Amino acid sequence: MQHENIRTKIDLANTLADASGNIIKKYFRQPNLEAETKTTEISSIVTIADRLAEDAMVAIIKKEAPNDGIIREEGENIPSKNGYYWVLDPIDGTSSFVKGLPIFGTLIGLVDLDNNLPLLGCVNQPILQERWLGIRGQPPCFNQTIIDNIYTNNINYQLTEACLTSTTPLMFVTPRQQAIATRLQKVCRRTAFGGDCYNYVSLAMGWSSMPMVILESDLKYYDFCALIPIIEGVGAIITDWSGNPLNSHSTEILAASNQILHQQALKVILS
């Protein structure tokens, strides 16, 4: 994508984050969201805020970039006329949102589906006014400042010193997934649940005193697409459970602070 083009897309991502954030803020910590359970899955609570925030983003994209397609959590996808797709999750971390915990995020990704490359990823937290923006091949930003954290293989991280995190153990659905999660839990220094997209931005920011491993399954494309440029932009690793690059069909995610740690986690997964 050309320079002026990516600039336009960054501006649009920021506009989408502003618009969805303004809606979400109105509904945070307000009871009676009329949450509606579509299924019994953990990810199935849909709130009014979710729907309205997504609708607002879709309306803006249709107006500002009518040739771009949309892959979305709530509504029907919209085909692309130019190969670019916006991948939207208005509230990642609905569980935290409905409990009034400000550790959810709006995920806004932009991909070129021809070659499956996420070009841009934005995580927006409207309550704490925190925004992460990753551009493929560039260092990512936190609130418009370049993230001052670069992971390399210079540090020989070990799983035994790592914090393993997953949003919920209930995302490990199959016996195979449960066995893998249990194996990794046993090796890592500690395991913490909860967090959703905040686990990934925490890893990117280097907030934790421990190296981090994130193991998740049962995810959809909109749950992780926007995170890829942010994680990769700081030199950390995000792949599927076989170590392959993520694509729109991936559901099992493994992220780690560096390649050394990622390789160790992969070894446990594949053992």
Which residues contact a copy of itself (rule: CB under 8 A)? 29, 31-35, 37, 40, 42, 45, 47, 95-96, 98-103, 128, 163, 165, 167-170, 189-195, 198-199, 202, 205-210, 212
Instruction: For residue 109, list its beta bridge partners.
Output: 87, 121
Q: How far apart are CA 164 and CA 153, in angstroms?
A: 19
Closer residue to a copy of itself, CB minimum distance, 110 or 141? 141
Residues 6+ apart with CB under 8 A from 7: none
Which helix (H) or strand (E) is 263 found in, with range? helix 259-270
Q: How far is the CB of 87 from a copy of itself (least distance, A)?
A: 24
Residue 224: what are its φ and ψ, rounded to 5°? -135, -15
Q: How far is the CB of 98 from a copy of itself (least distance, A)?
A: 5
CA-wise closest residue to 150 among 52, 249, 257 = 257
Closer residue to a copy of itself, CB minimum distance, 6 or 35? 35
Q: How far apart are CA 271 and CA 269, in angstroms?
A: 6
Closer residue to a copy of itself, CB minimum distance, 7 or 38? 38
Coil vs helix vs strand at 101 = coil
Instruction: Give the number of other Cβ atoms within 10 Å of residue 172's Cβ.
Output: 20
Closer residue to a copy of itself, CB minimum distance, 96 or 250? 96
Closer residue to a copy of itself, CB minimum distance, 81 or 99? 99
Q: How far is the CB of 208 from a copy of itself (least distance, A)?
A: 5
Q: How far is the CB of 259 from a copy of itself (least distance, A)?
A: 19
Q: How far is the CB of 217 from a copy of itself (least distance, A)?
A: 15
